[in-house]
Amino acid sequence: MSGEPNALNPYTNHIIYMPAQLIEKITDYDRCKALIYDTNRFSNDPLVVDKMLLFVAEIKGHVDEKYLNEAINWGPILRNIDIKTNKETIGEFMYNHLVNHQLPHDKTECKLTNLGDTNNEVISFNNYYLWLLIDTCHLVIDEIVSVTTFTKHSNFNSFVNEFMNLRQQAKDAKNERLGQFCKLILNSAFGGDALNSEKYSNTRLLSANKTFIQHLIGGFIHSTELNEDLYAVQVDRENCRCNTCLQVAYFVLDSAKF
């Protein structure tokens, strides 16, 4: 993601590129398959890599049954799926745990889950994550729905190097504040503002009078008394803003699994 070469990455000359311009959405099976299994992904030749496109593939697949034991402790496909929290799905032990502790059960919940297959659903993957699943985790693709291609760039590299160097200088000078600032900038620079804001809320510190007013207007969720005249008030977001290109945010979140 940083555009910095890493020997542990066997693809595109050891660099994870970021997507730029959308090129096309391909549904022709042969063209999709050619892009997914392009052997040039292993090339270290800059001239070859420069001509390659990044992509997002929508597929169904599963880990080859011969290699399931390798994935049994850590399913390599990380995705949110809807799970029914009944005894048949989660097992007797976990179901009894929910019941005994008066936790929600017998309902459908969306959970981030380690999977050995795509749960018979069409799931999208960026090229780096998909290549990793194919080459390392023995993923077998059962169905290809589409492949969407993008041009690529590594323009974040100078930004990352500048702040990494600045952070190292701050640590050498024992400047904890500057070091922490650089760390936060680096950690939050990619994709953070593309998270689903509907899952998050704002918390405000308000006086008792303003808390009472907040109860009366829209968006109020919950309040907690901190002292006699200070409350932590949780309110729903009225709007959201995303400054990151969606394809960049998607690649950041998917490449993080790489």
d(CA 223, CA 232): 6
d(CA 73, CA 216): 50
d(CA 75, CA 177): 39
Q: pLDDT averaged over consecutive 10-residue blocks of the chain (258 residues)? A: 84 93 96 97 95 96 92 89 89 92 88 90 96 96 97 88 91 90 77 58 81 80 83 74 74 81
Separation of CA 145 from chain center: 21
d(CA 140, CA 60): 9
Q: Please give the C-alpha separations between residue 198 and each of 3, 43, 66, 234, 238, in angstroms, as whole numbers.
A: 31, 41, 41, 14, 10
For Cα atoms 30, 27, 3, give the angle at the middle one, nearest 5 degrees. Answer: 85
Strands 220-227 and 230-236: antiparallel
* Conformation bin of residue 74: beta by default, left when phi > 0, alpha when psi is -120 to 50: beta
What are the φ and ψ backbone dihedral angles of 123, each rounded to 5 degrees?
A: -125, 145
Contact 191, 199 (CB under 8 A): no
d(CA 201, CA 214): 14
What 8-state DSSP symbol labels residue 256? T
